[in-house]
Amino acid sequence: MLSEKHISIVKSTIPLLESAGTAITEHFYQRMFSHNPELKNIFNMSHQKTGGQPAALFNAVAAYAKNIDNLGALSGAVERIAHKHTSFNIQPDHYPIVGHHLLETLRELAPDAFTPDVEEAWGAAYGLLAGIFIQREDELYQKSANQPGGWLGARQFRVVEKREESNLVTSFIFVPIDELPVIGYESGQYLGIKVAPTNHEYLEMRQYSLSDKANGSSYRISVKREAVGIPGVVSNHLHDYLNVGDIVDVYPPAGDFHYIEREAPVVLISAGVGVTPMQSMLEMLADKQFDKPVFYLHACENVEQHSFNQRVNLLSEQINLQHHTWYRDTSGLNDADNNANIQQGFMNLALLKSQLPVTDGDFYLCGPVVFMQFAKQQLVALGVNDDRIHYEVFGPHSDL
The dihedrals phi and psi of 328, each to the nearest 5 degrees, come to -70, -40
Contacts (Cβ under 8 Å, ≥6 apart) of 352 = 295, 297, 324
* Per annotation, catalytic residue among 95, 126, 219, 391: 95
* Binding site, annotated residues for FAD: 190, 206-209, 393-396
Q: Among 267, 305, 158, 279, which Cα is nearest to 208's?
A: 279
The long-range contacts involving 124-127, CB below 8 angstroms and separated by at least 24 positions, are 124/2, 124/3, 124/6, 125/2, 125/6, 125/10, 125/64, 125/65, 125/68, 126/99, 126/102, 127/99
How far, in Å, CA of 134 to CA of 128, rounded?
10
Residue ranges of the binding site:
85, 190, 206-209, 272-277, 393-396
β-pair type (362-366, 389-392):
parallel
Could you tell me which residues are beta bridge partners of residue 208? 191
DSSP assignment of 126-156, as one string? HHHHHHHHHHHHHHHHHHHHHSTT--SS-EE
Written as one letter, the residue type at 142 is Q
Give the residue numbers of the binding site for heme b: 85
> Considering 26, 64, 137, 219, which one is annotated as catalytic?
137
User: What is the per-residue DSSP string for 228-284?
Assistant: TTS--HHHHHHHHH--TT-EEEEEEEE-S------SS-EEEEEEGGGHHHHHHHHHH
Spatial separation of the C-alpha atoms in residues 281 and 213, rounded to whole Å: 7
Helix H, strand E, coil C: the string for 2-42 is CCHHHHHHHHHCHHHHHHHCCHHHHHHHHHHHHHCHHHHHC
Is-catalytic flag, 137?
A: yes
How is the beta sheet containing 389-392 ordered, strand by strand?
342-344, 321-327, 294-300, 266-271, 362-366, 389-392
Query: What gap in Å lies between CA 175 and CA 220, rounded to an integer?
Result: 9
The annotation places the binding site for NADP(+) at 272-277
The percent helix, strand, coil of the chain (3-state, each to 5) is: 45, 20, 35
Q: Residue 374: helix, strand or coil by DSSP?
A: helix
Task: Please confirm, yes or no, whether 95 is among the known catalytic residues.
Answer: yes
Catalytically active residues, by annotation: 95, 137
